[in-house]
Amino acid sequence: MNTSLTLRYAIELAMVIPAAVIAILPVYYSRKVKKAFLFGLMGILLAATVIGGAVVCSVFGITSNTFIFPAMIGLFVTYNFCFDLSFPKKLFCFSNAVFLCGFSSTYNTFLTAPLELDNKYPVYTITSGLLDLGIAVIVGGVFARTLLVKFSELFENESLDSAWKILSLAPTIAAAGIIWMKPVSAENVMTGRLRMICLVVLLSIPLISLFLYQILWWLSKKMTERAELQRNLDMMQMIEKQYQQTRRYLNETRNARHDFRQHIHVIEEYLQAGEYYKLKEYIEPISESIKHSHKLICKNQAVDALANHYDEVAKSKEVTIYWNIKTEEMLPVKESDLCAVIGNLVENAIQASTALTGDNRLVNVRIGILQEETLVISVDNPYRGTLTLDKKGLPISSLPDHGIGLRSVRNIVERYKGSMEIETHNQIFNVSILMYAPD
């Protein structure tokens, strides 16, 4: 075995190391295995790919691409296993890593073509191989913030969940295209001014990609802001509706006071005459109007309007909600965020309760404030069947869009440096939340 040739292959195959870093950065905080296990497993696989691949390529005289493409299948299977995101999101990140490192290798082929003219082997010289790694590291550094911060924010946007199947195709196609563009030999590159033109034109590819990722992140941010604006608008409509109901209730109460003496006189007449059936018919509409009067659930107007809205929704579905909200008008968190949390939790609980029968169709909502800075929320409801929680503590389901509300709640809670815990004991689904006032 030619040791020098094996070293050259090892340096060329070491491209999988920056590729692994680029692939892991966007999904690092979504891992479903322990950190030690992840780094240990990736270290073993990468070392086996670099060292084992170098030996195989050196012995059989094949190109590194001939070895690495089949190896990528195994690497992606491992990658898919280690991280807890949807398959399209993981494919997007993995393909992006292949694309960026494929660009580095293609650009390096044009850059080092003069050094490779006398190379008789299908592998870079040591100098060219090291330059290849250097370009990949630089590209990774340029994209690092976008990968670590902005990709994570993209993945948290529920509005994009249905679009990732299409979005994942972009880096996949780009990766295939950039690899296809890589010249077969240095001689082909040195034709006329082709090399210099390609060196300039190729630089635009990662820059355009970075720009497109920034545009996608900006659009995602605008979608989030629009969703929050819509949520605020919905809340205002609920408040307006509750205000109109309160006004109607006050008018009815005023009229009821005005007619109170007349009602008492009529009731006395029926009692003296012993006409209890007519008395019942007379009292029924009065009793019904009292039942439909406004129920004050919370001192905060926005939360009270939301609670009354879902109370009516629950009654229409024959579900009972027991409210225990002890908050003042001023809240330690934004009204819109609290209403979004309550709305998602209560809506999920009502939906789960509709699948039950009898006394099990109920929801318990408890909200309180500790030391004026900590908001405590607990929502529980019975459920039917079996529930399994993933590594992040969210229910696992094969239903489309299932769990989006809970992911939205978790994102809001994390903004307030709070915590959310989901428990399933004795067929009771309970969500407990702590949210802290911003500094």
Model pLDDT, residue 243: 61
Model pLDDT, residue 94: 96
In this predicted model, what pLDDT tens digit does every residue of 128-144 receive, in sequence order? 999 999 999 999 999 99
The answer on pLDDT for 336 being more than 90 is no
Q: How confident is the model at residue 27 (pLDDT cuts 50, 70, 90)?
A: very high
Mean pLDDT of 158-180: 90
Using CA atoms, how far apart are residues 100 and 97, in angstroms rounded to an integer?
Answer: 5
Query: Contact at 8 Å (CB) between 75 and 47?
Result: no
Neighbour tally for 201: CB within 10 Å: 10
Q: How confident is the model at residue 296 (pLDDT cuts 50, 70, 90)?
A: confident
Copy the structure tokens of residue 37. 């296990």
Please report, for the chain, the start and end positions of each structural domain, with discontinuous segments joined by +.
3-229, 296-439
CA angle, 371 then 373 then 374, to 5°? 85
Q: What is the distance in angstroms between the CA of the first residue and the CA of the last residue of the chain?
A: 64
Using CA atoms, how far apart are residues 429 and 394, in angstroms rounded to an integer?
Answer: 11
Q: What DSSP letter does each residue of 285-304 carry, written as one string?
A: HHHHHHHTS-----SSHHHH
Using CA atoms, how far apart are residues 59 and 98, in angstroms rounded to an integer?
Answer: 26
Mean pLDDT of 82-100: 93
pTM above 0.75, yes or no: no
Model pLDDT, residue 156: 81
- Tell me the CA distances in angstroms from 56 to 9, 66, 72, 331, one per residue in order: 9, 10, 16, 66
By CB atoms closer than 10 A (0-12, 13-18, 19+), residue 331 is buried
Rg (CA), the chain: 32
Model pLDDT, residue 364: 95
In this structure, what are the phi and psi dihedrals at residue 367, rounded to the nearest 5 degrees?
-135, 135
Mean pLDDT of 229-240: 72
In this predicted model, what pLDDT tens digit does every residue of 361-419 receive, in sequence order? 999 999 999 887 899 999 999 988 887 777 667 776 655 444 557 888 888 898 898 99
Average pLDDT, the chain: 86
Put residue 342 in one of left, alpha, beta given phi > 0 → left and psi -120 to 50 → alpha: alpha
Model pLDDT, residue 236: 73
Using CA atoms, how far apart are residues 337 and 414, in angstroms rounded to an integer?
Answer: 12
CATH class belonging to 296-439: alpha beta
Model pLDDT, residue 402: 47
Which neighbouring-strand residues pair with 362?
320
In this predicted model, what pLDDT tens digit does every residue of 241-266 receive, in sequence order? 656 665 665 565 566 555 666 667 77
**Alpha helices (runs of H) in 274-403, residue ranges in sequence order:** 276-291, 301-316, 335-353
Q: What DSSP letter does each residue of 215-273 carry, written as one string?
A: HHHHHHHHHHHHHHHHHHHHHHHHHHHHHHHHHHHHHHHHHHHHHHHHHHHHHHHHHHH
- Tell me the CA distances in angstroms from 96 to 147, 200, 238, 354, one per residue in order: 10, 22, 44, 44
In this predicted model, what pLDDT tens digit does every residue of 337-359 receive, in sequence order? 888 899 889 998 998 898 888 88
Q: Which residues are CB-contacts of 134 (< 8 A; sequence separation ≥ 6)?
A: none
Model pLDDT, residue 254: 61
